[in-house]
Every structure is written in C-alpha cells, then in structure tokens.
Structure 1
Amino acid sequence: MVSILKLRLMWRRLSQRLSWPGMLFLVIAQSFITYLLFCLAGEDALTSNPIEFIYYNMVVVSTVGFGDLSPNTDLGKAIVSFYQIPSGLIIFASFISKMTQLFIDIARRNMHGNNDFSHYQQHILLLCWDKYSTAQILALILADKKRLKRDILLCVTDDMENPFPDITEISFVKISSFSDAKELERIALKGAARIIINGKSDDETLSIALSIATHSDNNANVSAHFFDSSKAKLLKMHCPQIECSINNSAQMMVRSMQDPGSSQVADQLFSTLMGATLYCLQVPKEITPCLFSDLFTHFKMQHQMILIAVSPFKNGDHMQLNPHKDVLVKGGDHLHYIADERFYAEELSWLADK
C-alpha cells in the first residue's frame, strides 16, 4: 500500500512538472508510434483514414472503449494490449492531472489575488477594502442593469482572500502598494475607465489618490470619498480632475429634522436598488443648443425623466442645480437627471430630432 501511494505521489509530481509543450509532444509521439505499428501490422481499416484513426485512438486511451473500430489481426491486438492502452492511459492520466492542477492554480490565484489583470481595458477599479462599505458599493454598481458591462476589479493591500468568490462579475487582486508602478500596471490602472477610492481613513484615501493621479487616464472618472472636507479640498487643489464626495450625515440630519422625508428622498436618489435614481449623461456635440426649459419639458413628456442640473464639466464643476428656464444647454454639456433607469444619449429623442 505504501509503495502504491509513493508511486501515485511521484507520478503526480512528474505530471505537474511536465510543461504543456512536453505534454503535446507526448500525445503526438504516442499517436504517431501507434499509427506506425498498426501500419506494420496491416491494420488498414484503422490507418487508411487519419480522422478515423485519431477518433479510434482517443476512444481507446480515454478508456471509453473500442466503439465501432477495433484491430482485426493478432499483431494489432497485441499492439493494443502491450503498447497502445498502457501508454495511452499514462498520457491521458497525466493530461487529466495537469488540467486539474491548472484549474486549482487558477482558483487559488483568484482567491489569493495573485492574478495579472494588465490586459484589462475600460474596467472599474475599486481601490482599498472596507468591510462596511465595499460590499454595498459593489451591490449598487451591479444593480444598475443598464450600465456598460465593464469588468470590476477589487484591489486591496490587506492580507486577505477574495471576499466575493461567488460573484463572477468581480475580480480580486492583492498588491503590495498603490505607489508601486509595476503593481499599478498589474491592475491596468492606465486603462481603467472608472476608479473609486474608498480608504479606511481619509489619510489613506488621500494617499492613494495622490499616488494614482499621475498614472491614471485623464479621461477616467475618478471619485474619492472623505469624512473631512479639508482633506477633500486639499486633494482638489492638487488633482482637480478627481471628484471628491464628503460625508453629509450632519446635513442629512438637519434636513430630516426640518423637512421630514428628506432622508428617504436621498436614499432613493443615490441607490440603484430601489425607485428612481440620479444619473448623468453627456449631450451629443452635434445637438443644436436649446433652452433648459424646453429640454426639461420634452424629456419629461417623452421619457419620464426629470432634469435637475447641468454642468459644462464631467466632474460637476460650475454646476447649475435647478437652473433658470432660459439657461442654454449646449453639445458637450453634462445633464444630471432623475429616472427609473439609466438612459444613453443615443436612446433619447432630442429636440432637434422632432
């Protein structure tokens, strides 16, 4: 029993060390030698058609059986008994063992965050891990059914395993530092279209934001969350392209006290999990300029959406909330609106299309 276990262990180690080119060579060599031996044995029925031989050989070595083909001569049967089946079983077992190990390695790398995602493009990066908010952030992203189906990559520096192994839309990577250029290449920071920075503290969020600012794409939407407004202002001074959100619990409590129900409105506006939600789209550049009041009425009647703000910049700078009816909306402006689902510019009937 001990010797059998030792042989199994030795064979498993050998199959794991065997490279894929080496495995391919063994498969081809076994098939070629079997084919030559059958030719010498006069097994014309098995060798006349190469496709039929490949089919027959695969059926035999995989232990499925002989199927509708089998050797007819005594020499052919001897070749099957003493060479084809033993050699085929060894190679087939090696292949199964190597494939199993491959899937185990892939699963282990995914759990431990060791995979390389440098090939990712136009993906969403969620930088840092917080046990209270990260799961909610990801749930809100996935709840937007009309979002562009971008890859989502959770990046952490903590010593932890993938917290969401069962969610196929989310990949996990563990890096040594957000200031390491090679690690930033591994998460394809330059190719990311959306980046969320959600540190455990404002200092961590500020540090990460400053580290990635020069490496990320200028057209990427980068957002960072702070509890201290002074840290947000500091980041804005150095990285004006990053959108900073600030904890507004105090404002929300006052609003709820003075105007009951305000917290319910805010919860729905910012959550894709229930009710109407706040979205944003860019006005196509070819659209003829029009009055905000005209566009407001048109979109409300045609698409059941409410325009609430307009800004010339993607990050919301110089935004006009509840603008005057005579404000001119131009191509390239960013419209913020409330609707039951996300709309894309090409889905809307603009005033010029009437």
Structure 2
Amino acid sequence: MLPFLTPLKITKIIQKLTRNMTWPAMFGLIIMQAAITYVLFVLANERALIEHPLQFFYYNMVVVSTVGFGDFSPQTSFGRLIVAFWQIPSGLIVFASFIGKTTQLFIDIARKNMNGSNDFSHLTGHILLFCWDKHSTKQVIQLILGDKKRHNRQILLCVTEDMENPFPEIDEVSFAKLDSFSDTQELDRVGLKTAQRIIIDGSTDDETLSIALSIATFTDKNANITAHFFDESKAKLLKIHCPYIECSIDNSAQIMVRSMQDPGSSQVTERLLSTLNGATLYSILIPDLITDTSFGELFKTFKQRYDMILIGFSKDKSGNDMSLNPTNDAIVSAGYHLYYIANERLYVEDIDWQDIN
C-alpha cells in the first residue's frame, strides 16, 4: 500500500464515491464485479464454483462480505490467484460501497424526516395541521390519536418556522417545513389536494386567515376544514369567502361565565370535546337510503340499540343551521348530519339503517 493511502483516507475516498454514485450505478457495479469474477472462474475451469448460477451467487456473496463459510473454495492455482488478486479486493470495494450507500440512504431519510424536506405528495386521505404552538399542537395531536375508532390517517404537521420535527417519536405524525403557505409547489408537496382533514391554527388570527385563504382554492371541496380564531370578525370574514370552512372561536369567556352560573359546566364542556376520557361528542352522516324520519324515533332507537344520545342535527356539514335538542317530531333525512354523545365513534356501516327506516 502506498504510504499516503492510509485506511482512513481509503475509507473517505469510498464514502465520497458512494455519496456521488446513483443506485443504478451501484447495482451496475455489483453486476460487473460478479460477471468478471464468473468469466475468470470459467477460464480457470473452476467447475464446482460455476456449476449452478445460484451456487456461484451464494459463494461470491460469502467472499465479498468477508463471511467465509469455507464450504466452497477454488481448487486450481489460477482460481486461487483470481480470488486473492481480484475477487476479494474488488468484492470488498463493492461491498463497502453498498453498505455505505445503504447507510447514507437511511441517514438521508432520517435527516429529511427531522428537517421537514420529505415529499408527501403521495399521501391520500391524510390530516394536515397548519399550525405550531409548543403546547396546543401537542394537545391537538393527542386528541386526534385519542379517538379509539379513528381511521388510520397519517397526520402531517406543516410549519414555516425554522425548526426540526418536534414529534419524531410518534409514527403517526410526519413533519413538513414549508417556505410559504401560499407556494403552490409546497402545498403540492404536502398533498393538499388529497387531504381529507385540515386544521388551521396560526400563531395569530391574521396568519390563520391568510393560510385559509391561500389553501382554499386547492383543497378538496369534500374535505373537512376547520380554522381557529380569537377574533370573531376574522372568522366572519373567512366565512364570507369560504363558507364551507368551519370556524371555531375561542370560548374561554363563555366557559368561565357558565362555570360561575352552573357549577361543573366547564367539566361537561371539556368531556364533550375530549377523546381522551369516556363519552364525548361525535357526528355521523345519514346515508341515502334513509327517507324522512322523526328525530324522536331516531333518538329512541339509537339510545336503545347503540347507547348513543342524539343531541341535534344539521343539514350543513359545517353546522351553520344547527338544531340542538329539537322536538321529537322534527324531520331528518338522508344527507343530514347527526350529532351524538357516545363512548366511542360509530360509523355509517356500524348501524342497521334498514331496520331504522
């Protein structure tokens, strides 16, 4: 070995070559090493090593990986020279390059997951969170995952802040760092058009409004989109331009007053909104096969058969025409959204609608 080619320098050279090598080139190098070795063994008349292609592949992999089981070996002097001066040196280079390339692949995946540069355009039916707050975002994710019968939707946290993935330990949560919430290429990267659930909770009401208006044109019209505001006027402004987006308003003042007037009401509100403890609030869409039915009949049937308590209904998905505690003779039909309290979520297919109708 030349004095200036130390093992450390050789390792660095291999790492540099591996980093710049494409995967097709990597597999081409593996095939070339095996092919040359096979031809040399043919010339050396090493019949035992080349009798079956699978046997040669096994032997070559054992040699280049330095495992050396010893169950196969060259029998001729020429064959031993081939192993000593070609198969082992070339195999070590190829094997080291492959290990380095594979290691670099996993490092790149981990790095992209941490810095938010991964491409998520392949996702469908996922949940987008356009928000970041050290405390509230974590709570939002806990509440989503707390739904015992939630669909297995991937959660994608989207931010513009200069930060790394705050939830690397949660498999259901991915992380994307965007340059801007108004960049269409960035929105395509997070699969905006195919997302089925979207939460917008900016650091300020102005940011929330800006994000909502930016993404409104590109979202699936059937997607459930909600935006959180502190200022009711900003929420009303968004509803004018995007009536299908559901706006939630900070209600801390209302809860405080109700707690003063009706002790324990804050706990009721918390339980109705949380998926982490016992019964909570859900909604379900009445399927097309249901004709006009009285609310009272549905209330009785759902309570007796499914232990659900119906509390209201709405024709609009966003609840703009909500009717809470309606009369028993109020009529509901296909396409209405029912709101109920239950220990766990029920889907349309969990209910025998034919029997109800």
Q: Is the 8 A contact 2:287 2:334 kept in 1?
A: yes
Structure 1 equivalent of residue 121 of structure 2:
118
Secondary structure of 1:335 counterpart: strand
Residues 1:129 and 2:126 are matched in the alignment: no
- Mapping for residues 192-203 of structure 1, pairs under 5 Å: 192-203=195-206
- Mapping for residues 100-249 of structure 1, pairs under 5 Å: 100-249=103-252
Secondary structure of 1:66 counterpart: coil
Q: Is the 8 A contact 1:277 1:339 kept in 2?
A: yes
* 1: CA distance, partners of 2:320 / 2:110: 44
Residues 1:331 and 2:308 are matched in the alignment: no
Deviations 1:215-261 (A, max 9, x none): 11111110000111111111111110000000111110111111111
Structure 2 equivalent of residue 321 of structure 1:
324
For residue 12 of structure 1, report the CA deviation from its aligned partner: 1.2
* 2: CA distance, partners of 1:252 / 1:351: 40
Secondary structure of 2:213 counterpart: helix
* 2: CA distance, partners of 1:101 / 1:49: 34
- 2:169 is matched by which residue type in structure 1? D
Secondary structure of 1:135 counterpart: helix
Q: Is the 8 A contact 2:149 2:345 kept in 1?
A: yes
Structure 2 equivalent of residue 23 of structure 1:
26
Residues 1:255 and 2:222 are matched in the alignment: no
* 2: CA distance, partners of 1:82 / 1:264: 78
For residue 289 of structure 1, report the CA deviation from its aligned partner: 2.5
Deviations 1:247-306 (A, max 9, x none): 111110111111111011111111111010101110111123211111111111111111
* 1: CA distance, partners of 2:47 / 2:292: 80
* 2: CA distance, partners of 1:67 / 1:315: 71
For residue 2 of structure 1, report the CA deviation from its aligned partner: 7.5
Q: TM-score, normalised by structure 2?
A: 0.96
* 2: CA distance, partners of 1:115 / 1:215: 20
Structure 1 equivalent of residue 345 of structure 2:
342
* 2: CA distance, partners of 1:287 / 1:44: 76
Q: Is the 8 A contact 1:298 1:351 kept in 2?
A: no
- 1:239 is matched by which residue type in structure 2? C
- 2:143 is matched by which residue type in structure 1? L
Secondary structure of 1:164 counterpart: coil
- 2:192 is matched by which residue type in structure 1? L
Residues 1:91 and 2:94 are matched in the alignment: yes
* 2: CA distance, partners of 1:258 / 1:10: 75
Structure 2 equivalent of residue 32 of structure 1:
35
- Mapping for residues 289-308 of structure 1, pairs under 5 Å: 289-308=292-311
* 1: CA distance, partners of 2:24 / 2:51: 28
- Say what the alpha-carbon RMSD is for the aligned residues: 1.4
For residue 208 of structure 1, report the CA deviation from its aligned partner: 0.7
Q: TM-score, normalised by structure 1?
A: 0.97
Match of 1:56 among 59, 70, 90: 59
For residue 351 of structure 1, report the CA deviation from its aligned partner: 5.7
Q: Is the 8 A contact 1:223 1:244 kept in 2?
A: yes
Secondary structure of 2:9 counterpart: helix
- Mapping for residues 38-77 of structure 1, pairs under 5 Å: 38-77=41-80
Q: Is the 8 A contact 1:157 1:176 kept in 2?
A: yes
Q: Is the 8 A contact 1:287 1:352 kept in 2?
A: no
For residue 3 of structure 1, report the CA deviation from its aligned partner: 4.6
For residue 212 of structure 1, report the CA deviation from its aligned partner: 0.8
What is the aligned length? 354
Secondary structure of 1:64 counterpart: coil
* Larger CA deviation: 283-292 vs 84-93: 283-292
- 2:210 is matched by which residue type in structure 1? S
Q: Which runs of 5+ in 2 are unaligned?
A: none
- 2:317 is matched by which residue type in structure 1? K
For residue 19 of structure 1, report the CA deviation from its aligned partner: 1.3
Secondary structure of 2:340 counterpart: strand
Q: Is the 8 A contact 1:124 1:153 kept in 2?
A: yes
* 2: CA distance, partners of 1:353 / 1:292: 12
Query: Are residues 204 and 41 of structure 1, via their aligned partners in 2, closer, same or farther at CA, if it must alter by over 3 Å?
Result: same
* 2: CA distance, partners of 1:6 / 1:49: 39
For residue 104 of structure 1, report the CA deviation from its aligned partner: 0.7
Q: Which runs of 5+ in 1 are unaligned?
A: none
Q: Is the 8 A contact 1:288 1:352 kept in 2?
A: no
Matched-pair identity in %: 62
